[in-house]
Copies of this chain bind each other. A is one copy, B any other.
Amino acid sequence: MTAPAPKPKENLQETLQQVVRILNRHRLVENLVHKQDMHKHALVETIVHKQNLAELEKRLEQLHPADIAFVLESLPLEDRLIAWGLIKPEIEGDVLLEVSDSVRETLLADMDRAEILAAAEHLDTDELADLAPDLPQDVMSELMGSLEEDERAELQSALSYADDQVGSLMDFDMVTIRDDVTLEVVLRYLRRFDELPHHTDKLFVVDNDQRIKGVLPIKRLLITDPDRDVSEVMAHEVVMFRPDDDAGDAAQAFERYDLVSAPVVDSTHKVIGRLTVDMMVDVIREESEAEMLSLGGLKEDEDLFSSVWQSARNRWPWLAINILTAIFVSRVIGLFEGTIHQLVALAALMPIVSGIGGNTGTQTVTLVVRGLALGQINPSSARRLIVKEHAIALLSGVVWGGVLGLIAWLLYGDFQLGLVMTAAMILNLQVAALVGLLVPLTMDKLGRDPAYGSSVFLTAATDSMGFFIFLGLATIFLV
């Protein structure tokens, strides 16, 4: 291995601390110089300054690109760019591939055209395709021009697929063999390679037109008598993908069947690329992160050190929607101001009804989103689920609504108030179950991400209906 050894987690934290210490020392010198009104170029000439940067450069040189990415992501912008300036051009491309989208933007913004082109030189076409969306248009066209014809075709093909399609994730680096040769021939053929593509656990067996006929697992190649023919040894049943398949589905297939690599074929079964488990792990991680972020109402990946303004922009769309629904909810309460004026206890009790509704509804949403992600929800199971969720809501409503009714009765000495509380809880939990089921199921039916936005709709419904039911019942029966 020519790349530096990866570090286990503790060492990585230690490395990060070392980098931070050097950077702090560096900043100290800068401040000192600044105070003494020295010129910038005089500073650069300072021996201490040079020593600090040299030490940092040496420290970074020993790191695996993935570890450099981790260090860069953990540094605030200013320090990040100092460190980034010390990274060797040969591995800049690899580091760019490893960092998160928002950090990548900050790094690319700091590079000029020549630097970007130099970094891109060391990347494969599938890796270039990953970077492409973040590159300036003119750099991209210059890059395109510098490629060989077949590479350009690969890059264009990769760019023609959406982010969530297999085509955008496949690489073009693979070993194909014929089925009419012996394993000995295959072994000799492999020895002619300088290096095998990463994650090669099987060779793709193809016909003259590059159409897939089967795969030869390396495991089998190694244990079988070399005099036998590929055709006798190869596996005919192949898990393969189409470039327009959904990346999440492909990741699930990798997970389900414990795959390391798999061919991507076109409609004529011609092999056009390859998926590997490392990309699929990234898909799984990204999907679950996106789900979590969208449940929290965050539009996109936010760098911990993004500026206040950038972060606010990321968070405000959701906040704006929330404010709209909050105003609506407030107007619902406004309808009953007369009732509240007559019985102020209602104002204190009403958030209980809406809050518990929101919580039980969120549980339903979570389970439905998960069931959809795992593909376990189909028309017949959906019907059962609806019945079940309403039954649970009824049970919870009677039990916990009863408890809360009792507490309201004891607190305010008003038996009827307790009854209204219990009835409102039972009804609002039915609303929560219904909305908690319908919103994600409808989103999914419309082809949208069922996690995103479900909780806004849900809370808007459980809040407004919770207040409406509780205050409405109170208006009818209590005042």
Q: List chain A positions with a Cβ less than 8 A from chain B.
A: 1, 4-6, 8-9, 12-13, 16-17, 20, 64, 66-67, 70, 73-74, 76, 98, 187, 190-196, 198-201, 218-219, 222-225, 235, 237-239, 241, 245-246, 249, 252-258, 260, 277-278, 280-282, 284-285, 288-289, 291-293, 295-298, 302, 304-305, 308, 311-312, 315-316, 318-320, 322-323, 326-327, 329-331, 333-334, 337-338, 340-341, 344-352, 354-356, 359-360, 362-363, 365-367, 369-371, 374-378, 380-381, 384-385, 388, 391-392, 395-396, 400, 403-404, 407, 411, 459, 463, 467
Given the known interface contacts A17-B378, A292-B291, the answer about A351 and B348 at a Cβ–Cβ threshold of 8 Å is no
- Contact across chains for B351 and A340 when beta carbons are under 8 A apart: no
Contacts of A235 in B (CB 8 A): 1
> Which residue of B74, B282, B375 contacts A13 across the interface (Cβ within 8 Å)?
B375
> Which residue of B9, B277, B318, B392 contacts A359 across the interface (Cβ within 8 Å)?
B318
- Contact across chains for A199 and B258 when beta carbons are under 8 A apart: yes
> Which residue of B17, B293, B295, B375 contacts A12 across the interface (Cβ within 8 Å)?
B375
Contacts of A280 in B (CB 8 A): 281
Task: Report how far A222 CA is from B195 CA in the complex, Å.
Answer: 9
Task: Report how far A82 CA is from B454 CA in the complex, Å.
Answer: 36
Closest residue of chain B to A310 (Cβ to Cβ) is: B392
Task: Report how far A5 CA is from B340 CA in the complex, Å.
Answer: 66
- Contact across chains for A285 and B255 when beta carbons are under 8 A apart: yes
- Contact across chains for B302 and A6 when beta carbons are under 8 A apart: no
Known: A9-B252, A66-B257, A333-B347. 17 other contacts (CB 8 A): A6-B256, A6-B257, A9-B375, A12-B375, A74-B381, A191-B223, A196-B223, A218-B218, A255-B282, A288-B288, A288-B292, A289-B370, A295-B366, A308-B395, A326-B356, A331-B348, A337-B347
Q: Do most interface residues of chain A lie in helix, strand or loop, or is the interface mixed?
A: helix
Contacts of A329 in B (CB 8 A): 351-352, 355
- Contact across chains for A6 and B239 when beta carbons are under 8 A apart: yes
Give A176 Cβ to nearest chain B Cβ, in Å: 15
Give A470 Cβ to nearest chain B Cβ, in Å: 12
Given the known interface contacts A218-B218, A308-B392, A315-B392, the answer about A333 and B356 at a Cβ–Cβ threshold of 8 Å is no
Task: Report how far A322 CA is from B329 CA in the complex, Å.
Answer: 21
Task: Report how far A348 CA is from B297 CA in the complex, Å.
Answer: 25
- Contact across chains for B64 and A359 when beta carbons are under 8 A apart: no
Given the known interface contacts A297-B362, A323-B403, A355-B322, the answer about A70 and B347 at a Cβ–Cβ threshold of 8 Å is no
Give A372 Cβ to nearest chain B Cβ, in Å: 10
- Contact across chains for B340 and A344 when beta carbons are under 8 A apart: yes
- Contact across chains for A356 and B12 when beta carbons are under 8 A apart: no
Task: Report how far A429 CA is from B88 CA in the complex, Å.
Answer: 44
- Contact across chains for A194 and B219 when beta carbons are under 8 A apart: no
- Contact across chains for A66 and B256 when beta carbons are under 8 A apart: yes
- Contact across chains for A384 and B76 when beta carbons are under 8 A apart: yes
Task: Report how far A341 CA is from B352 CA in the complex, Å.
Answer: 19
- Contact across chains for A330 and B348 when beta carbons are under 8 A apart: yes
Task: Report how far A380 CA is from B75 CA in the complex, Å.
Answer: 10
